[in-house]
Structure 1
Amino acid sequence: MGAFIRAARLDITESLRARWFGFYSLVFGGIIVLLFVFGLTESRILGFTGLSRLLVTYIQLCVAILPIFVLITTVRSVAGDREAGVFEYMLSLPVGLAAWYWGKMVGRFTVVFLPVFLAMAGAAAWSEYSEIGVPWGLFTVYTGLLVSLAWSFLGFGMLISAAARSSDVAQTGAFLLWLVLLLFLDLILLGVMVREHLPLEAVVAIALANPLQSFRTAAILLFDPQMVVLGPAAYVILDDLGQGGYLAFALVWPLLLGTGAAYWGYRLFRRGDLP
C-alpha cells in the first residue's frame, strides 16, 4: 500500500508540473467563466434556470472535450516511461509492478478529474454566494457521471499505453478510438439500422455499450425525463430500465468498462515488461 500511495503521489506531482495540466485546467475553468459571462444562469430552457441551465450546458461540452483530453494525456503514461527508460530504474527499486501501475492510474485519475470537478464546485460556490440557488441533487448526479466517464477513458488510455511500443503509436491509437466512439454516437448506427434492418432493441443495446453514448443519454434524461430527442429509442430505454435504472446503468457500466480495460492493460504490461 505504501508503494501504491508513493506511485500515485509521484504521478500527481509530475502531472501538476506539466504544461498540459495548466492548459487542461484553463480549458475547464474558462468554460465555466464563459458560461457565466454569457448569462446562462439567467436563462430559462424547458424549466431549467440558474445553475441547472449552466450545468446542462457544461455537461454537454464535457462529452466532447473530456474523453480526448483524458486519452491523450494518459496514453503517454506507460509508453512514455518505456521510451524514457524509466522501467529499468523502477525495477531496481522495491516497488511492485501492480503498485506502480495502479498507483499511476489512480494518480492520473485524480489529476484529470480534479479540474473538471473544481470548475463545477466553483460554479456552485458562486451561485450560493449570488443567491442563485444550487440543485445539489443534479450536481451530485452530474459529478457521478463525470467520474464514470473519466474513469472509463482513463482505463482505455492505460490499455492503449501498455499495448503501444511508442508514444506516437499510443497517441494515434487514442485518437482513433475517440473518433470511432464519436462516430458510433449517431452516424454509423443510423446507417446500420437503415441498411441491415436490425431490431431497435439491438441497435439501442449496441449504442449504450459506448460509454460516450450512455453518458450523453443520461445527461439528456436529466434534462428531458421523456428523452423526446431520442425518438423511439427512448421508449426502449424507459420501458426496459426506467429512469432510475438507466441512471444506475450509466453510472456503473463505464466504471466496469474502464476497470476491465485497465486490468487488460495491466496483464499486457506484466507480460511485456517482466523478464
Structure 2
Amino acid sequence: MKNLFLIAYLDLKESLRANWFIIYSLVFGGMIALFFIAGVTQSQVMGFSGLSRLLLIYIQVTIIILPIFILISTVRSISGDRDTYILEYMLSFPISLKQYYWGKIFGRFITVFSPVFFAMIIAVIYGKIIGALIPWNIFFLYTGLLFSLSSAFLGIAFFISSFVKTSEVALGLSFFIWIFLLAFIDIALISLMLQNRFDESLIISIALLNPMEIFRVAAISLFDPSLTVMGPVAFYILDNFEQKVFISLSILYPFVLGLIFAFWGFFIFSKKDLV
C-alpha cells in the first residue's frame, strides 16, 4: 500500500509540473471567471438566475471539454513511460505491477478532478460574497456527476494506454473515442430513427449507454425535471425512470463503467510484454 501511494504521489507531482495541467486548470478556472465578468449571476434566462444559471452553463461546457482533457492527458500515462523507458526503470524497484498501475490511476484522478471541483468551489465562495442563494443540492449532485464522468474517461484512458505501444497511437484513439461519443453516435442513431429501422426505445437506450449523453440528460433534469428542451426523448425517459432513480443511475453507471475499463486495462497490462 505504501508503494501505491508513493507512485500516486510521484504521478501527481509530475502532473503539477506539466504544462498541460496549468492549461487544464486555467481553462476551468478561467471559465468561472469569465462567467462572473459577463454578469451571468446577475441575469435571468428561462427562470434560471444567480448561481444556478452559472452552474448550468458551466456544466454544459464541461461535458465537452472535460472528457477530451482527461483522455489526451492520461492516455499517454503508461505508454509514455514505456516510450521513455521510465516503466522499465520503475519496475526495477520492489514495486508490483498492481501498485504501479493503480497508483498511477489514483494520482491521475486527483489531478484531473481537482481543477474541475475547485472551480465550482470558487463559484460558491463568490456566490456567498455577493449574497447569492447557494443551490447546495445542485452543487453536490453536479459534484457527483463530475466525479463519475471523470472516473469513466480515466478508466477508458488507462485501458487504451495499457495496450498501445506508442503515444501517437494513444492520442489518435483518444480523439476518435471523444468524437465518436460526442457527435458520431448521435448522428448515427438519429439516422436510424429517421429511417425507422429500429424501435425508438431501443435507439434511446443505446444513446443513454454513452456516458456523455447520460451525464447531459441528468444535468438538464436538475433544472428542467420535465425535460421539455429534449422533446419526444423526454417522454421515454420520464415514463421509465423517476428523476431520483435516473440521477442515481447517471452517477453510478459512468463510475462502474470506468472501473470495468480500468480493471480490463490492468488485466491487459499484467499479461502483455511491458517493455
Q: Secondary structure at the match of 2:75?
A: helix
Structure 1 length-normalised TM: 0.97
1:109 matched residue in structure 2: 109
Q: Does 1:245 align with 2:245?
A: yes
Q: What's the offset of the Cα at 1:186? A: 2.7
**Quick one: distance in 1 between partners of 2:185 and 2:223?**
18
Take 1:216 and 1:248, find their aligned partners in 2: how far apart are those partners? 14
Distance 1:263 1:137 in 2: 32
2:137 is matched with 137
**CA offset digits 1:159-205 (Å, max 9, x no partner):** 11111100000000000000110124532210111224311210111
Question: Any idea what the Cα deviations from partners look like across 1:203-230, whole Å, max 9, x if unmatched?
Answer: 1110000001000111111121111122
Task: Give 1:17-28 correspondences, 5 Å limit.
Answer: 17-28=17-28
Q: State the alpha-carbon separation in 1 of the partners of residues 185 and 119 from structure 2.
A: 26
Tell which deviates more after alignment, 179-188 or 90-99.
179-188
Q: Secondary structure at the match of 1:197?
A: coil
Structure 2 counterpart of 1:49: 49
On the 8 A contact 1:184/1:207 being kept in 2, the answer is no
Native 8 Å contact 1:185 1:213 kept in 2: no
Which residue matches 1:158?
158
Unaligned runs of 5+ in 2: none
Residue correspondences, number? 275
Residue 92 of structure 2 corresponds to which residue in structure 1? 92
Tell me which residue corresponds to 1:231: 231
Conserved in 2, the CA contact under 8 Å of 1:76 and 1:167? Answer: yes
Secondary structure of the 1:186 match is helix
| CA distance in 1: counterparts of 2:222 and 2:204, whole angstroms | 19
Judge conservation of contact 1:5–1:103 (CA < 8 Å) in 2: yes
Q: Secondary structure at the match of 2:178?
A: helix
Once residues 98 and 232 of structure 2 are traced to their aligned partners in structure 1, the CA distance between those partners, rounded to angstroms, is 46
Aligned pairs for 1:187-198 within 5 A: 187-198=187-198
Distance 1:271 1:196 in 2: 44
Identity %: 47
Q: Deviations over 1:22-81 (max 9, x none)?
A: 111011010000001111101112322110000000000001100000000001100000
What residue is the counterpart of 1:209 in the other structure? 209
Contact 1:185/1:212 (CA < 8 Å) preserved in 2?
no
| Cα-to-partner distance string for 1:133-164 (whole Å, 9 max, x where unaligned) | 21111000011100111110011100111111
Matching residue of 1:257: 257
Report the counterpart of residue 125 of structure 2 in structure 1: 125
CA distance in 1: counterparts of 2:264 and 2:142, whole angstroms: 28
Q: C-alpha displacement at 1:273, in angstroms?
A: 3.3
Task: Report if the CA contact (8 A) 2:78-2:87 is conserved.
Answer: no
The letter of the residue matching 2:231 is G
Assess if the C-alpha contact under 8 Å between 2:4 and 2:102 holds in 1.
Answer: yes
- For residues 233 and 185 of structure 1, what CA distance do their matches in structure 2 show? 16
Whether 2:15 is the aligned partner of 1:15: answer yes
> Does residue 38 in structure 1 map to residue 66 in structure 2?
no
- Per-residue deviation, residues 231-254 of structure 1 (Å, max 9, x unmatched): 222111111111111101100000
- Partner SS for 1:273: coil
For residue 267 of structure 1, report the CA deviation from its aligned partner.
Answer: 0.8
